Structure 1
Amino acid sequence: MDAHVFLALCRALTPRLTGAWLDKIQEPAPGVTSFALALPHVPHAGTTPSGASRKAWLVLRAGRKDPFLFLARDKPSAPPSPSAPVMRLRKYAAGRRILSLVPDFTGRRLWLLLSGEAPAGLAARAESDGPAVLWLLLDLREGPSLRLLGEDDQPRPEVLRWPEPAALEEACRNWRDWPVITPALRRVLPLMEPPDQAALLEDLRLGGGDVFLYRPVDDAGKPCAADVEPACLFGAWPLPPGRKPASWPGWRETAGEDVLALAEQAGKLLVLARVGRDAAGLAAVPLLRQERKTARLLDKMRDEEARLRDMCARRQDAEALRANLWRWAADARFPFVEVEEYAPDGSARTRRIDIDPRRSVREEMEALFHAARRGKRGLEHVARRRAELEETLDRLERERRAVLAGGAPRSDPKTSGVVLAEQADRLPRNVQLFISSDGFALLRGRDARGNGAARRMAAPHDIWLHADGGPGSHVIIRRAYAGQEVPERTLDEAGGLAACKSWLRDAARARILYAEVRHIKPLRGAAPGTVRMDKIWLSREVPVRPELETLLAPAPAATERESLERVHTT
Structure 2
Amino acid sequence: MESNFFRSLASELGPALSGVRVEKVFRPAEQVFTFRLGLSGQRRYLLFRHGRDQAALFFSQEKPDNPERPDGRSMWLRKHLSGRRLFDHVADWPGRRLAWALSGQGESYFILDLREGPFIAETLEAGFGKEPEWPDFGAVCDDPDVWRNHPQISPLLRKAMESADPAEALKLYERVSQGTANRFFVYLSESGTGQALVWERPARAGERMQIAESALEAAALAGQSAVFGRVRHEAASDDAGALKARRKRVKRALAKVDEEEQRMRDLVACRDKALAVQSALSRVGSGDRLGEVAGQGPDGRDMVVELDSRLTVVENMQRLYRLAAKGERGLTHAVARRKELQAEYQALVEGRWTPPETQAPPPRIKSKRNLAIKDKAFARFVSSDGFTLLRGKNAKANAKLLREAAAPFDLWFHAQDGPGSHVLLKRDHGGQEPPEATIEEAAALAGLKSWQAQEAKARIMCALVRDVKPLKGAPAGTVRVDKIFRALVVDLDPELEQRLAVREA
Q: Give the TM-score normalised by the residue count of structure 2.
A: 0.68
CA distance in 2, matches of 1:78, 1:138: 22
Shift of 1:466: 3.1
Shift of 1:310: 3.0
Shift of 1:112: 6.1
Q: Residues 294-341 of structure 1, C-alpha deviation per residue, up to 9 Å, x if partnerless?
A: 998898677555534432232122224434555667648455758577
Shift of 1:168: 5.6
C-alpha distance 306-533 of structure 1, shift in aligned 2 (>3 A):
farther
Matched, 1:482 2:403: no
Kept in 2: contact 1:406–1:458 (CA 8 A): no
Shift of 1:476: 0.9
CA distance in 2, matches of 1:526, 1:309: 60
Shift of 1:379: 5.7
**Partner of 1:252: helix, strand, or coil?**
coil
> Which one of the candidate residues 54, 62, 78 is aligned to 1:75?
62
Alignment match, 1:436: 383
Q: Residues 194-218 of structure 1, C-alpha deviation per residue, up to 9 Å, x if partnerless?
A: 9799768667535549757463xxx
Matches within 5 A, 1:118-197: 119=103, 122=104, 124-126=105-107, 137-141=111-115, 143=117, 158-162=131-135, 164-166=137-139, 172=145, 177-180=149-152
C-alpha distance 388-534 of structure 1, shift in aligned 2 (>3 A):
farther
**Partner of 1:486: helix, strand, or coil?**
coil
C-alpha distance 257-441 of structure 1, shift in aligned 2 (>3 A):
closer
CA distance in 2, matches of 1:24, 1:482: 23
Question: Which residue identity does 2:392 align to in structure 1?
Answer: G
> Which one of the candidate residues 508, 512, 518 is aligned to 2:461?
512
C-alpha distance 368-329 of structure 1, shift in aligned 2 (>3 A):
same
Alignment match, 1:568: none
CA distance in 2, matches of 1:536, 1:176: 52
Shift of 1:547: 2.6
> Which one of the candidate residues 469, 492, 499 is aligned to 1:545?
492
Question: Which residue identity does 2:96 align to in structure 1?
Answer: R
Shift of 1:382: 7.5
Alignment match, 2:440: 492
Shift of 1:158: 1.6
Residue-pair matches, total: 476
Shift of 1:444: 0.3
Question: Which residue identity does 2:490 align to in structure 1?
Answer: P
Matches within 5 A, 1:301-320: 304=260, 306-320=262-276
Q: Residues 440-473 of structure 1, C-alpha deviation per residue, up to 9 Å, x if partnerless?
A: 2211011123224434233443223334555431
CA distance in 2, matches of 1:253, 1:511: 32
C-alpha distance 285-435 of structure 1, shift in aligned 2 (>3 A):
closer
C-alpha distance 143-469 of structure 1, shift in aligned 2 (>3 A):
farther
Matched, 1:501 2:435: no
Shift of 1:376: 3.9
C-alpha distance 203-316 of structure 1, shift in aligned 2 (>3 A):
farther
Alignment match, 2:34: 33
Q: Residues 396-439 of structure 1, C-alpha deviation per residue, up to 9 Å, x if partnerless?
A: 679769x7899349xxxxxxxxxx9xxxxxx4433212233433
CA distance in 2, matches of 1:386, 1:476: 38
Question: Which residue identity does 2:383 align to in structure 1?
Answer: S
Aligned residues: CA RMSD: 5.7
C-alpha distance 35-400 of structure 1, shift in aligned 2 (>3 A):
closer
Alignment match, 1:272: 228
C-alpha distance 141-367 of structure 1, shift in aligned 2 (>3 A):
same
5+ unaligned residues in a row in structure 1: which ranges? 40-53, 128-134, 216-222, 241-249, 343-347, 410-419, 421-426, 559-570
Shift of 1:499: 3.2
Kept in 1: contact 2:280–2:295 (CA 8 A): no
Once the two structures are aligned, what percentage of the paired residues are identical? 26
Question: Which residue identity does 1:374 align to in structure 2?
Answer: K
CA distance in 2, matches of 1:493, 1:351: 74
Alignment match, 1:567: none
Matches within 5 A, 1:37-116: 55-56=42-43, 59-66=46-53, 68-71=55-58, 74-77=61-64, 79=66, 83=75, 85-86=77-78, 89=81, 91-93=83-85, 103-111=91-99
Q: Give the TM-score normalised by the residue count of structure 1.
A: 0.62
C-alpha distance 206-186 of structure 1, shift in aligned 2 (>3 A):
closer
Kept in 2: contact 1:442–1:475 (CA 8 A): yes
Matches within 5 A, 1:241-390: 252-255=206-209, 258=212, 263-278=219-234, 304=260, 306-323=262-279, 331=288, 333=290, 337=294, 342=299, 353-356=304-307, 358=309, 363-377=315-329
User: Structure 1 stretch 457-466 or stretch 310-319: which is displaced more?
Assistant: 457-466
